């Protein structure tokens, strides 16, 4: 076998492996979706969205769960977005390169890899107990905000880095200050990438269960929260609760809940991808 033939063979073998590896993921996802769809599709009705949890499966719904999820997501976003963008701007534009910025950078990357249950324990100690937030939406949101901050910070930095130097120079050359240049040129130009990062971060947070259970989210909440100081449940916890019941009817509810959660996640990720594509097209000036 000569060298050329060997190369093509290796090339083809690799191609087959790559296609196989990709398909495994897709096929598994497909099977899961079909199975869940068959199990839970017929359970999706207006009643399912508007009913409180109940001991009788056919009466139970996800009302408190999705309202809780909305509260948690909204509050998490309010906390994580300004802090994450601020930190990203600081690290990229203001911090002097040196051991301190390297230290921060390494730690932020590491944080992204910490298991979420650890964030839960941190949240329990700091927010629930130390800061006396109790087992509230606020404590849960702060915990999730910590969890997604690394994603927001890193994506903010990357998008700022992608803004061409010529744009800054044009702004400085007209007498703009550093802050004017950042706020009026760099951030708007980076906004597509920043938004994409935020959506991806939130779509990570929406499926998190473990840290919220640790900070005391309830599995049975017969009321919707009125403020951030109320206790709460969220969709994934409601699903978890149903799955762990012995009665088969609750599994149907769980499947229906999963469909709702999956649709939300797909919509969020899809819009992130759309946004990123549009932004990448625009960013080439």
Footprint on this chain of another protein (rule: CB under 8 A): 164, 166-177, 180, 184-185, 188-189, 282, 285
Smallest distance from another protein to CB 176, Å? 4
Q: Which one, 90 or 172, has the nearer CB to another protein?
A: 172
Smallest distance from another protein to CB 254, Å? 47
Cα torsion angle, 69, 75, 76, 81, sign? positive
User: What residues contact residue 179 under an 8 Å CB cut-off, 6+ apart?
Assistant: none
Q: How far apart are CA 285 and CA 275, in angstroms?
A: 17
Smallest distance from another protein to CB 190, Å? 11
Q: Which one, 17 or 94, has the nearer CB to another protein?
A: 94
Distances, alpha carbon 279 to alpha carbons 78, 262, 275, in Å: 23, 25, 6
Residue with tokens 């534009």: 93
Q: Which one, 251 or 283, has the nearer CB to another protein?
A: 283
Smallest distance from another protein to CB 97, Å? 8
Q: Which one, 33 or 283, has the nearer CB to another protein?
A: 283
CA angle 154, 159, 163 (to 5 degrees): 145
SS3 249: helix
Q: Which one, 22 or 282, has the nearer CB to another protein?
A: 282
CB 160 within 8 A of CB 190: yes
Smallest distance from another protein to CB 104, Å? 19
Q: How far apart are CA 266 and CA 14, in angstroms?
A: 30
């Amino acid at each position: 076998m000569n060298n050329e033939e060997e190369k093509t063979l290796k090339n083809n073998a690799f191609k087959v492996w790559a296609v196989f590896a990709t398909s495994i993921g897709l096929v598994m996802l497909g099977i899961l979706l079909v199975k869940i769809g068959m199990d839970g599709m017929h359970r999706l009705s207006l009643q399912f969205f508007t009913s409180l949890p109940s001991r009788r499966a056919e009466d139970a719904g996800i009302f408190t769960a999705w309202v809780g999820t909305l509260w948690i997501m909204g509050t998490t976003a309010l906390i994580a977005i300004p802090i994450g963008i601020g930190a990203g701007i600081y690290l990229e534009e203001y911090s002097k390169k040196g051991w301190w910025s390297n230290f921060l950078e390494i730690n932020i990357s590491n944080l992204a890899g910490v298991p979420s249950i650890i964030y839960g324990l941190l949240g329990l100690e700091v927010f629930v107990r130390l800061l006396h937030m109790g087992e509230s939406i606020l404590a849960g949101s702060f915990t999730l905000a910590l969890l997604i901050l690394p994603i927001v910070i890193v994506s903010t930095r990357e998008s700022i880095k992608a803004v061409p130097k010529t744009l800054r120079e044009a702004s400085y050359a007209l007498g703009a200050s550093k802050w004017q240049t950042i706020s009026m040129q760099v951030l708007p130009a980076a906004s597509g990438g920043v938004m994409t990062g935020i959506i991806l971060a939130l779509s990570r947070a929406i499926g998190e269960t473990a840290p919220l259970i640790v900070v005391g989210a309830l599995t049975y909440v017969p009321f919707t929260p009125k403020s951030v100081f109320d206790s709460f449940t969220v969709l994934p916890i409601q699903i978890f609760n149903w799955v762990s019941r012995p009665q088969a009817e609750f599994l149907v509810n769980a499947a229906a809940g999963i469909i709702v959660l999956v649709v939300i996640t797909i919509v969020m990720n899809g819009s992130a991808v759309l946004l990123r594509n549009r932004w990448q097209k625009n960013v080439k000036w």
